Structure 1
Amino acid sequence: MIKIAHISDTHITNEGAFKGYAFDLIVEEINRGDFDFVVHTGDVTNQGLREEYEQAAYQLTKIKKPLVVLPGNHDVRNVGYKLFEKFIGPLNGVYEFENGVLIWVDSTIPDLSDGRIGGHKFRWLKEKLEEYSDRKFKIVAAHHHLIPLPDTGRERNVLFNAGDVLDLLLRHEVNLYTCGHKHVPNVYRVGDLVIDNAGCTSCRKTRRGDVNSYNVIKLHDDGMVSVTIRRVTGDEERKEHRPIKPKIFLPSGERVLRIVQMSESNVSDRVYFRRKTLENVIRMINERLKPDLVIHNGDVVDAGIERYYERAYEYYKSISAQTLVVPGHNDITYLGHELFEEYFGEPEVIELGEYVIIPVLSAQYETPIGVVGRMGQRKLERTLEEYDDRFRIVVMHHNIIPIPRSREIGFLEDGGDVLKLLTEEGTELVLTGHGGNAYGLKVEETPIVNAGSVSWELHRDPFGNSFNLIDIYTDMVVVWQVQATWGSRKLIGIWKRKD
């Protein structure tokens, strides 16, 4: 077994932000423990100043274990990335250990809180993952978080290309992504990838009245990864994940529900709207696929004006199956808020036997940024609890997981809290539709599926315009991406239903 201490966000400075007693307490505990090495995921200093780096270099010598340190956004302020290399070490690198490797990568952008692993660094990370592909344990460390975190206020400062990085880690079967940045300890499992966020080790800026903490990571011989959040008060939270076996499933039960999921039709008279493509999709739905339900995850029209809504209504009323439409941000521009309700009605809960479809409104006036809101979250929580004995499908416009080939700027500003709510409630399926690219993955026990653009030329998917076909079996959920012109299919995901 390999045992790792994960610290982050020490914010060492001569000013009041640094809590030296908390740093010494945690370091002493680490030194007494049987840790193989320590990883510090950034914000070593508070402002990236020389005097802070001098103090940090001294403070870090107190750690008597092998130590890997990487830069955070505070470290690269004031051209601090130059000082980091002088006083701390390389910005990117590789640390090898028994049966494993830790690859750390600089995700910072000088003088910004946002992060990015792009261009040369992305290619370098890919090359290193290929070089060390034979290792039993592969760890990637960076400062910025990959998926939205709870209890952080407004979601922001995620990696701009978080979707591409997440997809890269999953494709290369990385066991652990470890990071800091938001001063909130949290552990999520995404497929076979454990995402480990450390809180702040010695900064006064904790959130939600929390205290300083660090994480204890254990890599077990059988492949299990466990993470314990250890606070200075002595409180602990532990999560563990055993590798998924088998990784390939075949549905063996009866198909009980079929859903067509689409998004971003953006009906209009603009050249980017592909009218014949949408008409072809509707023919496929009516003549070949014959679903039980069609769900449109928003951006039905390109702008909220009446002639676009009239045209969109004509299209969607021709679908023979029951249809649920939730509004996207385009739908409520101009007069769209009133027109959406006039043409499509207020989205309501749909019950289909043991299956219940729960719409969530996230679109806001005149902005692509969405929010569910605290009242909306409470309503969603009550609805999920009310239907706790059913298979619950939550439907909304904004994505809550990062989408590949899309610049992630926190499109759902309370995405971290919404994601926590959905996963803690064990929601059986979540369907979203923002970002112009089809994608799906499982966070904890909740599959989350995003639809690409069904008929808008300005999309981000090499597969072309598409929609998703979701077949729910008694034992599995299978999601296919269907090419909107030719009808060819590509598997997005296949997940066992929870017991």
Structure 2
Amino acid sequence: MLIAQLSDTHVSTPEGPEDVVLHTSEHLARAVAHLNRLQARPDLVVITGDLVDRGEVGEYERLRELLAPLRMPVYLLPGNHDHRDNLRRVFADHSYLPRAGFLQYTVDDGPVRLVALDTHIPGEPGGRLCGERLAWLDARLAEQPQRPTLVAMHHPPFASGLALMDAFGLDGSDGLAAVLRRHAQVERVVCGHLHRPIVRRFAGTVACTCPSTRHQLALDLPPAHRLALAMEPPACMLHLWLGDAGGLVTHVSLIHDKYPPLVVHDGQGWVRNPQVPANFHPA
């Protein structure tokens, strides 16, 4: 099973600064095309929040248009830039989205179960997992204790070293850790928010953040306290389930088509390529 993760798409209306300056819609269109042409096509796509920039209906309508070409199911989660009711309204046919309350759900198709958590606090940049949300997670994980599970949410439950972003972190991470320690089947906690690929061991499992399809945040580690945008290539994550023996393996996939893969071995032997010296063996 292959699960693709996009995050922090920040779709805007055509006149919005996100589109005019950062070309967010163009980048998401490229990401959709990238996933559609992968040789190993994902079974599903989960987008871990900040779907749009201002939470407006028009932005969600544009997001819907941009996602329409995807050839696999897509599952949406809110981030701090989102608006629950407007998201529900525009994607009313997405039956997995609850009609009221937190936008939390499970996806039970395939060998890996997806459990989606809502960390949104209206009007706040940070996130929260309150007692109600944590109890819901605990109950869902208890339903299938032997099933490999991927937990998805927007705000990561750990400090990253990006000081200003860590100030907009997750309230309730200790409670989340307590829940996860009771459920050993959680293979991965996948998040967004930080616009960078970051990995940390957390509560007996592995937690990671996904790059953005829009822009990345500059890698300013301590003692830096600024927040800067970095025009690094947009990217996504691919979570590949290799079965009980191989487990869940996570890859970062850059979204570009400028440099197609150069085949040097076709599975049978080394391939002679005029661009590669005859004595070149990359492995």
TM-score norm. by structure 2 comes to 0.75
**Which structure carries more strand by proportion?**
1
Q: Distance in 2 between matches of 1:163 and 1:191?
A: 9
In 1, Cα distance between the equivalents of 2:173 and 2:111? 27
Partner residue of 1:224?
247
| 1:113 corresponds to 2:125 | yes
Q: 1:153 to 1:143 in 2, by over 3 A?
A: same
Alpha-carbon distance in 2 for matches of 1:168, 1:160: 15
The one-character-per-residue Cα deviations of 1:380-411 (angstroms, maximum 9, x if unpaired) are xxxxxxxxxxxxxxxxxxxxxxxxxxxxxxxx
- Give 3-state SS (helix, strand or coil) of 1:97's partner: coil
CA distance in 2: counterparts of 1:13 and 1:216, whole angstroms: 25
Indicate how the Cα distance of structure 1 residues 161 and 96 shifts in structure 2: closer, same or farther if over 3 A, else same: same
Which structure exhibits the higher relative contact order, with contacts defined as CA atoms closer than 8 Å and separated by 6 or more residues?
A: 2
Q: 1:40 touches 1:70 (CA, 8 Å); kept in 2? A: yes
- Alignment of 1:43 onto 2:55: no
Identical positions, percent:
26
Unaligned ranges ≥5, structure 1: 236-499
Q: Is 95-104 or 34-43 further displaced after alignment? A: 95-104
Structure 2 unaligned blocks of 5 or more: 98-102, 220-229, 260-283
Report the CA distance between 1:154 and its aligned residue.
5.0
Query: What secondary structure is seen at the aligned counterpart in 1 of 2:125?
Result: strand
- Structure 1 residue 223 displacement after superposition: 4.3
The secondary structure found in structure 2 opposite 1:94 is strand
User: How far is the alpha carbon of 1:182 from its aligned partner?
Assistant: 1.5
For residues 437-472 of structure 1, what are the alpha-carbon distances to aligned partners after superposition, in whole Å with 9 as ceiling and x for unaligned? xxxxxxxxxxxxxxxxxxxxxxxxxxxxxxxxxxxx
**Partners in 1 of 2:192 and 2:209 — Cα distance?**
5
1:55 equivalent to 2:78? Answer no
Aligned-pair CA distance for 1:165: 0.3
Deviations 1:256-288, CA, capped at 9 Å, x for gaps: xxxxxxxxxxxxxxxxxxxxxxxxxxxxxxxxx
What secondary structure does 1:164 align onto? helix
Match of 2:18 in 1: 17
Cα distance, 1:154–1:55 mapped onto 2, change above 3 Å: closer
Alignment match, 2:167: 156
Code of the residue aligned with 1:181 in structure 2: it is H
> Does structure 1 residue 32 correspond to structure 2 residue 33?
no
Residue 124 of structure 2 aligns with an amino acid whose one-letter code is L
Q: Which has the larger radius of gyration?
A: 1
Counterpart-to-counterpart distance in 2, 1:233 and 1:61: 20
CA contact (8 A) 1:72 1:107 kept: yes
The yes-or-no answer on 1:86 pairing with 2:67 is no
**Mapped partners of 1:225, 1:205: distance in 2:** 25
- 1:124 maps to 136
1:154-200 Cα distance to aligned partner (Å, 9 max, x none):
52222111111022113211111111011111222346512121111
- SS class of match (1:6): strand
Equivalent in the alignment of 1:211: 233
Q: 2-side partners of 1:41 and 1:105: how far apart?
A: 9
Conserved 8 A contact 1:206-1:212: no
Residue of structure 2 in register with 1:463 after alignment: none
Q: Distance in 2 between matches of 1:149 and 1:63?
A: 32
What is the letter of the counterpart of residue 117 of structure 2?
Answer: V
Give the letter aligned to residue 30 of structure 1.
L
The offset of 1:36, in angstroms, is 1.1
Q: CA deviation at 1:20?
A: 2.5
RMSD: 2.0
What aligned pairs does 1:235-384 form with structure 2 within 5 A after superposition? none
Specify the code of the residue in structure 1 equivalent to 2:84: Y
1:59 positional shift: 1.4
Name the SS of the counterpart of 1:143 in structure 2: coil
Once the two structures are superposed, residues 408-447 of structure 1 have per-residue CA deviations (whole angstroms, 9 ceiling, x without a partner) of xxxxxxxxxxxxxxxxxxxxxxxxxxxxxxxxxxxxxxxx
CA distance in 2, matches of 1:37, 1:57: 16
Which amino acid in 1 is paired with 2:88?
Answer: E
Q: Equivalents in 1 of 2:169, 2:129: separation in Å?
A: 11
Instruction: Return the alpha-carbon distance in structure 2 between the equivalents of residues 53 and 6 of structure 1.
Output: 19
The residue matched to 1:134 in structure 2 has which SS? coil
* Alpha carbons of structure 1 residues 190 and 81: separation in structure 2 relative to 1, 3 Å: closer
* SS, match of residue 13 in structure 1: coil
Corresponding letter in the other structure for 2:123: D
Aligned residues: 228
Give yes or no for contact 2:177–2:202 (8 Å, CA) kept in 1. no
Native 8 Å contact 1:175 1:192 kept in 2: no
The equivalent residue for 1:67 is 74
* Cα displacement (A) at 1:85: 1.2
Post-superposition offset of 1:57 = 1.6
Query: In the alignment, does 2:151 pair up with 1:140?
Result: yes
Equivalent position SS for 2:62: helix
Q: CA offsets, 1:122-171, max 9 Å, x none?
A: 11111000012121x11111111011124464522221111110221132
Q: TM-score, normalised by structure 1?
A: 0.43
Residue 110 (structure 1) shift: 0.5
Q: Distance in 2 between matches of 1:100 and 1:55?
A: 30
Question: 1:334-358: CA deviations, max 9, x gaps?
Answer: xxxxxxxxxxxxxxxxxxxxxxxxx
- For 1:65 and 1:193, locate their aligned partners in 2 and report how far apart those are by CA, in whole Å: 27
Cα gap change, 1:142 to 1:154, in 2 (>3 Å) = closer
